[in-house]
Amino acid sequence: MEDCIFCKVIKKEIPRYKVYEDDDVLGILDINPTRHGHVLVFPKKHMKNFEDADENTLSKIMAVVKKLGLQVKEKLPAESYNVVVNNDEAAGQIIPHIHFHIIPRNEGDGLKGWPQEPYPKGMVEEVMNKLKIN
């Protein structure tokens, strides 16, 4: 895609801090990281979101996420990491090219998860029935 920042990164039209590359997948440091060592992993072929990506591509991306996640834990002062994908604008996806975030984490680092609240009475069954595939 012509205006896609990640497509420009892939073509080396925009500077990048590459931590991984193969024929199909690129891993770079996020230039505005949540934590130092925040990595972005994405396919070299333009795919807008999670649904655009075929299963083979997703499998390749996840294998790289796993490798880089291990690097984060072994090479940085990080006890763990979050793997996040923001799928479409309402979920916080800023760049319309599927990408996964690997965010280094440590106990007490101040990053919070999402707020949680229980379902109102009867609603959990309703939602389950809407989402159930088999």
Q: Which residues are catalytic?
A: 99
| CB-based contacts of 39, cutoff 8 Å, min separation 6 | 19, 27, 28, 29, 30, 68, 72, 101, 102
Q: What angle do CA 7, 9, 12 make, to 5 degrees?
A: 115
Q: For residues 82 and 40, give the distance between their C-alpha atoms in angstroms, rounded to a whole number.
A: 12
Q: Measured between alpha carbons, how far is 28 from 14 in angstroms, rounded to an integer?
A: 12
Q: What angle do CA 14, 46, 29 make, to 5 degrees?
A: 45
